[in-house]
Structure formats: C-alpha cells, structure tokens
C-alpha cells in the first residue's frame, strides 16, 4: 500500500514520475505518469503511464481505464461511482488534442469534473507535437491546475526519452 501524507504534492508527483519511468520510450509520445487520489481518505485509486495499455494510450487514459475496469463500469460511467473529492497528479499537462484519434485526456478529466477538483502537473506540455490548451480548458470548467515545482528537469528527461534530443 502506498503511504504518502495528505497534501504531500511532491510525494504524489514523485509517484507519478515513477509511473512515467515505466513508459516505453517512443519518438512520437511523451512518457507520462498519472496518479488519481481520493482526497477524503488520502488513498491512491489508480495509477497509469503512457502506453501501459494497448491502443497508443496516454497516462491519464490508462489510469481511468484501469479504475473503470476495477469498479466494473465503462470509463464513460466512472463519474457515477467516484468519490466527490479527488485530485489527479500528472507529470505533464493533460493533452487537449490527440493525433491518434483517441479522446484527449482533458476531455476524460472534464467528464469527471464533479469529482476531480484539482489537477496537479509537473510541467506544462512542450509544444513538440501539438499546441495544447489543456490548462485553460480545465480552468474554464472550474478545475484548478496547480504546478508542483521541484521535479521539472527529471520529468522532462523522462518525458522525452526516445526523442531525438540533439
């Protein structure tokens, strides 16, 4: 069982970074980790990382898909069974556009806006692949986006593994 103190945002971001390290490096993806926390009891509900599940999946997507499977509901119905006070920790800002055709991670978070009150990010998404308006979309929906400082260099190193960084 994962034991991180309530409000230890650096601890949860470190856990998300540990998840990101599991991502297979790929030139066309960022290696990202995500952690979903029930704030009422300070319990990790699910974790995910880029390409953890089949289908060019992102970290947040894997996190939600695994939780939906665990709870025996379709991902689209997660909102009906989740606690009312959750936080999402993700090493990189959730994407607002997917070139693969998959639902953007921001849209997945917005489906859970009644439960996810805050998204903690380690870094904003670099403009490597697409222009991202994830932060603005979340904030426009009343979800706080908070930058957790201190791990930026390590997050970017992990996120860009497999990229041609010359």
Q: Which of 52, 60, 93, 125 is catalytic?
A: 60
Distances (CA, A) of 48 to 1, 34, 51, 97, 166: 16, 5, 9, 19, 29
How many angstroms separate the CA atoms of 122 and 84, rounded?
24
For residue 42, give every residue at least 6 positions away whose Cβ sits within 8 Å of its Cβ, in sequence order, or none: 4, 5, 6
The structure tokens listed for 40 are 């009422």
Annotated active-site residue 60? The verdict is: yes
Question: 23 near 32, Cβ under 8 Å?
Answer: yes
Residue with tokens 């979800």: 143
Beta strands in 31-85, from DSSP E residues, in sequence order: 33-38, 43-49
Closest CA to 128 of 165, 89, 91: 165
Q: Which residues form the catalytic set?
A: 60
């Amino acid at each position: 069982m994962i034991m991180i103190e309530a409000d230890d945002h650096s601890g949860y971001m470190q856990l998300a970074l540990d998840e990101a390290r599991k991502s297979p490096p790929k030139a066309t993806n960022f290696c990202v980790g995500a952690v979903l926390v029930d704030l009422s009891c300070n319990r990790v509900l699910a974790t995910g990382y880029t390409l953890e599940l089949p289908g060019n999946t992102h970290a947040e997507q894997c996190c939600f898909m695994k939780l939906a499977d665990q709870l025996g509901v379709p991902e689209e119905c997660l909102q009906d069974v989740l606690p009312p006070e959750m936080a999402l920790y993700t090493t990189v800002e959730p994407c607002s556009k997917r070139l693969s055709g998959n639902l953007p991670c921001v849209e997945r978070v917005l489906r859970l806006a009644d439960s996810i009150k805050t998204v903690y990010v380690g870094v904003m998404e670099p403009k490597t692949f697409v222009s991202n308006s994830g932060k603005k979309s979340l904030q426009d929906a009343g979800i706080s986006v908070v930058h957790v400082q201190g791990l930026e260099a390590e997050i970017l190193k992990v996120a860009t593994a497999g990229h041609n960084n010359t």
